[in-house]
Amino acid sequence: MKDKRIARALAENLRALGVREIVAESPASALLGAEGPVDVTSEEDLSREGVIRREKETVDRCRKCGLGSQRTHAVYGDGNEYAEIMFIGEAPGAEEDRQGLPFVGRAGQLLNRLLEQVSLKRSEVYIGNLLKCRPPENRDPLPEELTACRPYLDKQIAVIKPRIIVCLGLYAAQAILNVKESMARLRGAHHKIGDTTVIPTYHTAAALRFPAYKQQIYDDLCRARDLAYG
Ligand code: SF4
């Protein structure tokens, strides 16, 4: 875990300096078995950024369900590939579809504020969705769309290996935990998938409509932060 944190900090620093890749020369290239440019990561995570980049390119071309032909941009996900905390929402909205980035509309701005309040930086977490393309008029995802898109999310989780997954909204919580229970029952309970703790909470879009949810999301973010870094 310490190595992962060091790798993440190193990659963050290099990214902040505008470095996207390095060319390893002998003896490092011999040690790593690398030829030519390699990603700025630890040996363990040598291909992490590369895999995420390739997956994003695949999603940008994807037409596995009907949403692919209706989107402006696919929204693969965004954030730190070394994140300890990964957020998973439902699907892109209008602003996300326009920009090709997750959680950049009003619900995303609320998420940013809540992250700040619990001393988490958006740049240190990863944010994705169940669906990578926007359903028209923000309708609920269809089962066949969720099934078609799920392998992309599973790969994302497998590559990023978060310690904590925060599910934003009932769709995400039910899909990740593979259950049909209500948010009232899921929230606050202890959920584990392998070594990963899953924390279901309300979607920030719901908190825009029902402000009382903000406190509950805040409490869940505190728990995620404490489990990840405490
Ligand atoms: S929603 Fe997912 S499966 Fe459907 S077209 Fe977009 S990326 Fe492909």
> Model confidence over 191-219: pLDDT tens digits?
999 999 999 999 999 999 999 999 999 99
Please report the pLDDT score of residue 12 as a whole number: 53
Q: Bigger pLDDT: 230 or 127?
A: 127
- CB of 59 within 6 A of ligand 1: the answer is yes
Average pLDDT, the chain: 86
From 3.40.470.10, 3.40.50.720, 3.30.70.270, 3.40.190.10, which CATH number describes the 47-229 domain? Answer: 3.40.470.10
- CB of 67 within 6 A of ligand 1: the answer is yes
Mutation pick for ligand 1 pocket among 90, 96, 132, 146 (CB with most ligand atoms within 8 Å) = 132
Task: Give the CA angle between residues 183, 212, 77 to the nearest 5°.
Answer: 60
pLDDT of 186 above 80: yes
List, for residues 98-151, the tens digit of each pLDDT value.
999 999 999 999 999 999 999 999 999 999 999 999 999 999 999 999 999 999
**Cα gap 80→8, rounded to integer Å:** 8
Q: Bigger pLDDT: 177 or 27?
A: 177
pLDDT of 34 above 50: no
| 96 CA to centre of own chain | 14
For the CA of 62, the nearest atom of ligand 1: 8
Please report the pLDDT score of residue 157 as a whole number: 98
The helix (run of H) or strand (run of E) holding residue 160 is: helix 143-160
- Expressed in angstroms and rounded, the spacing between residue 131 Cα and the centre of ligand 1 is 6
Please report the pLDDT score of residue 20 as a whole number: 42
Using left for φ > 0, alpha for ψ between -120 and 50, and beta otherwise, residue 121 falls in beta
Q: Bigger pLDDT: 157 or 15?
A: 157
- Expressed in angstroms and rounded, the spacing between residue 72 Cα and the centre of ligand 1 is 12
- CB of 64 within 6 A of ligand 1: the answer is yes
Going by the DSSP 8-state scheme, the letter that residue 139 receives in this structure is P
What proportion of the chain, given as a percentage, has pLDDT over 90? 79
Please report the pLDDT score of residue 137 as a whole number: 94
Model pTM score: 0.82
Q: Bigger pLDDT: 56 or 45?
A: 56
Q: Name residue 210's amino acid.
A: F
Q: Bigger pLDDT: 219 or 10?
A: 219
Among protein residues, the one whose CA lies closest to atom 5 of ligand 1? 68
Which tokens sit at 73?
Answer: 């941009």
pLDDT of 40 above 60: no
3-state secondary structure of 224: helix
Please report the pLDDT score of residue 230 as a whole number: 85
Which tokens sit at 83?
Answer: 């994140």
- Expressed in angstroms and rounded, the spacing between residue 150 Cα and the centre of ligand 1 is 9
* CA max distance for the chain: 58
Q: Bigger pLDDT: 215 or 190?
A: 215
- CB of 191 within 6 A of ligand 1: the answer is no
Among protein residues, the one whose CA lies closest to atom 1 of ligand 1? 133
Structural domain spans, the chain: 1-46, 47-229
**Cα gap 14→194, rounded to integer Å:** 31
